[in-house]
Amino acid sequence: MTDTATLILDGKEHQLPLVVGTEGERAVDIQTLRNNTGYVTLDPGYANTASCESAITFIDGEKGLLHYRGIPIEQFAAHPNFVEVSWLLIFGRLPTMREYTEFAHDLNAHANLDESMKHIFQGFPRSAPPMAILSAMINGLSCFHPELMELEDKTQFRRAAARLISKIRTIAAYAYRHSLGKPYIYPDPNLRYVPNFLHMMFSQPYEPYYCDEDVRDAVNLLLILHADHEQNCSTSTVRMVGSSQANLFASCAAGVCALWGPRHGGANVEVLHMLEQIHAGQITPEEYVAMAKDKESKVRLMGFGHRVYKNFDPRAKMLAKVAERLLRDRGKNDPLLNIARKLEEIALEDPYFVERKLYPNVDFYSGIIMRAIGIPTSMFTVMFAIGRLPGWIAHWWEQNQEAGGMIARPRQVYTGNNSTDYLLMERR
Ligand code: ACO
């Protein structure tokens, strides 16, 4: 393979270097393009743009592969441990026993929120969307931990990362309790990450919630499968905000907002609404698929399709199995699972979906697992955010550590008015 690409513009040849990643993905390096030619590239939605080099996560969308720091995600299924995977993503390798224990201890030691934050929760209406509360409260952590706004070294960064990963579940659980008007349940330092979160969500005063191993493992795996996905919309947002040297809390709060949208993390809520609509008999699976194919309807088959995967999303495959196992072991039969299976079957045989390579994505089955555990639909995207947080932190830090890091500032092709004059109001 050559190591440059030749671009001919206005009859003149320009050589652009080629870059090859460790898994063989190829890129044309256009960093000198504008300076040398006066041209920029136009790529709405960045579908053809690598915004950075990153060593965190690898996706092969054609083969349906997802690796965290080189490890295929399937290998986390046997003993799912979200805290361990968080460490791996953030610090670049699996932790030693000592590193893991220290990190887990830090998570437990800092799970409480400053008591004043409770007053902020109380200021929100009961009906406030939990994603709005989550973003506001994560941003609010900058006010309560000013010592972690500027991270001078790795030790300080580790402290900030642990605070954030620990406190996001307390914020999430308090947002839920607030929506119900129930008392906040303090974190229990004797519980591990996931059982502690479920305890804060579901315990009543003097009536502790019991988390069995199946539920603990299912939630750990769910969080792991959401933990990173390279330059998706929310992670790119975190990097974009972080590139201005905004602090970790502010950058991750922005990530929550980006995740909220129905074309990104908010799709898990939309999937459930779609399945419930079908279950209520308002529409059949066949009619829903037909509507999703009709461009006039503006409806999409939620939980289907992905910018990168043009094959099965490996996370969807794993989550479908977890959903089935969890329901079977608990002797439950959720009709929504059968409806999801039916929709998948219809879509995968339909030329519209086949030709466009649209397959179930991570959001298609995750809601069924969360429902089985008792997590309400309003909290689905919050669960996604808890899972995605270590990925955001890893990317924020990776970018922060780059020598000579640049502020993210794309160009545009201007299509507005040509130079024109201001007119006084009375003359318009
Ligand atoms: N249902 C029906 N048609 C679809 C769907 C869908 N779910 N997804 C894509 N298409 C169609 C588009 O209409 C388009 O058709 P056209 O070529 O005839 O115009 C074609 O497939 C390509 O779609 P794009 O929107 O251009 O693909 P893109 O890569 O930009 O979008 C996305 C990916 C946003 C995920 C899209 O597939 C979608 O909206 N899916 C439903 C929402 C969803 O599940 N989002 C979660 C994604 S995973 C995540 O973020 C966690």
The string of pLDDT tens digits covering residues 266-279 is: 999 999 999 999 99
pLDDT in tens, 380-418: 999 999 999 999 999 999 999 998 889 999 999 999 999
Which one, of 406, 276, 302, lies nearest residue 362 by Cα? 302
Task: Clarify whether 363 is annotated catalytic.
Answer: yes
Checking if the pLDDT of 170 tops 80, the result is yes
**Mean per-residue pLDDT for 180-206?**
95
Per-residue confidence (pLDDT) for residue 117, from 0 to 100: 94
Measure 302 CA to ligand 1 centroid, in angstroms: 9
Q: Give the residue, 405 or 255, on which the prediction is more confident.
A: 255
Tell me the pairing of strands 57-60 and 65-68: antiparallel
Atom of ligand 1 nearest to the CA of 303: 44
Q: How confident is the model at residue 232 (pLDDT cuts 50, 70, 90)?
A: very high
Closest ligand 1 atom, CA of 307? 29
Residues 6+ apart with CB under 8 A from 186: 112, 200
Confidence band for 1, pLDDT divided at 50, 70 and 90: low
Helical residues (DSSP H) of 53-153, grouped into ranges: 82-91, 97-109, 116-123, 130-144
User: What separation in Å is there between the alpha carbon of 230 and the centre of ligand 1?
Assistant: 18
Residue 144, token pair as written in the block: 């309560």
- Ligand 1 atom nearest the C-alpha of 265 is 51
Token digits of residue 275 = 């399945």
Q: Which secondary-structure segment (H or E) carries 2?
A: none
Report the DSSP beta bridge partners of residue 68: 57, 71
Sheet order of strands, 26-28 included: 4-9, 12-20, 26-28
Buried b (16+ CB within 10 A) or exposed e, 6-25: ebeeeeeebebeeeeeeeee
DSSP assignment letter at 358: -
Could you identify the atom of ligand 1 that is nearest to the CA of residue 308? 29
Q: How many CB atoms lie within 10 A of CB 207?
A: 7
CB atoms within 10 A of CB 329: 13
CB 269 within 8 A of CB 262: yes
Catalytic annotation, pick one of 110, 306, 313, 334: 306
Two tokens at 60? 């092969």
- Of 358, 382, 384, which is best to mutate to test ligand 1, by the most ligand atoms within 8 angstroms of its C-beta? 358
Could you write out the DSSP letters of every residue in 298-335? ----TTB--SS-SS--HHHHHHHHHHHHHHHHTT---H
CB 68 within 8 A of CB 88: yes
Name the helix (H) or strand (E) containing 355: helix 351-355
Kindly state the tokens that stand for 138.
């994560």
Structure-token pair, residue 373: 């555990």
What DSSP assignment string belongs to 165-186? HHHHHHHHHHHHHHHHTPPP--
Lining residues, ligand 1, CB within 6 Å: 45, 232, 263-265, 267, 292, 300-307, 356, 358, 361-363
- What tokens does 229 get? 């996905």
Locate 129 and state its tokens: 């969307």
357 Cα to the center of ligand 1, angstroms:
10
User: Distance between alpha carbon 37 and the CA centroid of its chain, in Å?
Assistant: 37
Residues comprising the chain, all counted: 428
Cβ–Cβ under 8 Å, residues 316 and 341: no
Task: Report the distance separating Cα 414 and Cα 216, nearest Å.
Answer: 52
The rounded Å distance from CA 305 to ligand 1 centre is 5
User: What residues have CB less than 8 Å from 372, skipping those under 6 apart?
Assistant: 218, 323, 326, 327, 330, 332, 334
Arithmetic mean of pLDDT, 148-170: 92
3 state SS of 291: helix
Q: Give the Cα separation of 273 and 279 in Å (integer).
A: 10
**Nearest Cα residue to 40 out of 410, 415, 405, 408:** 410
Which of 228, 229, 236, 306, when mutated, tests ligand 1's pocket best, judged by the most ligand atoms within 8 Å of its CB? 306
Q: What is the DSSP letter of 50?
A: -
Residue closest by Cα to atom 21 of ligand 1: 356
295 C-alpha to center of ligand 1: Å? Answer: 12
Helix (H, G, I), strand (E, B) or coil at 28: strand
For the ranges 199-203, 210-214, 239-243, 378-382, the lowest mean pLDDT is seen at: 210-214
* pLDDT computed for residue 330 by the predictor: 86
What's CA 81's distance to the chain center, in Å?
18
Active-site residue flag, 67: no
Mean pLDDT across 331-355? 94
Is 171 in contact with 137 (CB distance < 8 Å)? yes
Q: What is the pLDDT of residues 348-384, one digit of tens each?
A: 999 999 999 999 999 999 999 999 999 999 999 999 9
Spatial CA neighbour of 164 closest among 379, 385, 376 = 385
What mean pLDDT value characterizes the chain? 95
Compute the average pLDDT of residues 224-234: 98
